[in-house]
Amino acid sequence: MRASLLRNGKVLFGVIVLAFFVLLALLGPVLLSVLGLDARANDISAIAAPPSAAHPLGTTQFGQDVLAQVIEGARGSMFVGFLGAAIGTAIAIVVGVPAGYFGGTTGNLLNFLTNIFLVMPVLPLIFVVAGYLQGTGLVMIAIIIGVFGWAGGARTLRAQAMSVRNRDFVQAMRMLGEPHRRLIFVEVLPHLYGWIASMFLGGLIGAVMAEAGLAFLGVSDSSAISWGTMIQAAQQQSAVLRGLWWWFVPPGLCIALVGTAAALINFGVDELANPKLRAASRRVAKRTASVRRAAAALETTGAERA
C-alpha cells in the first residue's frame, strides 16, 4: 500500500511538502539559532523594510524579521493542526466505530450524540468558546478545535463499520464466540485505515485554517507566534493598504501549501481505497494520452503538408 501511494504523483508531492513543514516545525529553533535569527527581536533600523540581504523576507512594522516569524510560526500552526486533527480523529473513532459495530441501543445513543454535534453551528461555537478561554494557549485552541470537529468523521466511520460488521468473515467469527474487543481492533479497524487517514488529513487542514481564522479575529493566543497571528498582526497594522505584501503573503502561502499538500495526499488515499476513483483516474489518463496522440498526429500531418 505504501509503495502504491508513493507512486501516485499527487501523494508524492503532498508528502514532500508536508514533510518539509513538519521538519521546519520540529527543527525551527535549531534553524533560527544557526541563522542567527530571533522572531521576537526588534530591528529599529529596519521598520517595515522590504526583502533585503539582511532580512530575506523583509520586516514587520515593529522591525521583526518575517522569515524568523514564518519559521517560528510553523511550530505553532503545525502543532495546532496535528493535535486538533488527532483529537478529532480519536473521538470520531471512539464514537463512530462502536456505533456502527454494535448497533441497537448503544448505536442509537452514540448516533444521537453525533447528530447533536452535527447540527451545532461549529465554527461560531469555536469562536465563542475560544474567545471565552482567550489567552489559555495553543494547546487549548487545538483541544477546542478537535472536540467540536469530530462529528462528520464519526458519521462516516459508523457507516463503514456497519458495512464491515455485516461481512461474512466477521459474522462467522462472532458465531464462533470471538470477543467484541478483538473483532473491533483486529477485524474491523484495519478495514477503516484509509477512511481514518483521510479523516485525519481533513482535520489537519481544518485545524490549521481554524487557528488562522481565530487568530485573525483576535481570539487566539496572541502571545504565541503562528501563521495566523502573523496575518492578524499584519491586518491590524493595515499591511494590505500600505503595500507591505512581504508581511502577510508568506504566512498565507504557507497555510495554502499545507492545505494543498494534505488535500493531495487525501485524494491519493481515496483513490487507493476506492476502486471507482482508481478506475476514473485511469480513464482520465487514457483519454489524456489519446488527446495528446491525436494532437501529435495532427501536428505531424500539418508539417508534412507544409
Distance between CA atoms of 10 and 20, rounded to whole angstroms? 16
What pLDDT score does 295 carry? 58
Confidence of residue 90 (pLDDT cuts 50, 70, 90): very high
Helix (H) or strand (E) holding 302: helix 275-305
Residue 9 in this model has a pLDDT that exceeds 60: yes
Name beta bridge partners: 59.
65
What pLDDT score does 200 carry? 92
Q: Could you tell me the pTM of the whole model?
A: 0.81
pLDDT digit string, tens, across residues 154-195: 999 999 999 888 888 888 888 888 888 888 888 889 888 888
**What nine digits make up the cell of 23?**
521538519
Share of residues in the chain with pLDDT > 70 (%) = 86
Confidence of residue 250 (pLDDT cuts 50, 70, 90): very high
Look at residues 110, 130, 98 and name the one whose alpha carbon lies nearest to residue 207.
130
Domain boundaries, the chain: 2-273
Confidence of residue 280 (pLDDT cuts 50, 70, 90): very low
pLDDT digit string, tens, across residues 57-79: 989 988 899 999 999 999 989 99
Residue 6 in this model has a pLDDT that exceeds 80: no
CB 77 within 8 A of CB 255: yes
Residue 216 in this model has a pLDDT that exceeds 60: yes
Give me the mean pLDDT over the 132-136 stretch.
68
Name beta bridge partners: 65.
59
In CATH, the architecture of 2-273 is Orthogonal Bundle (1.10)
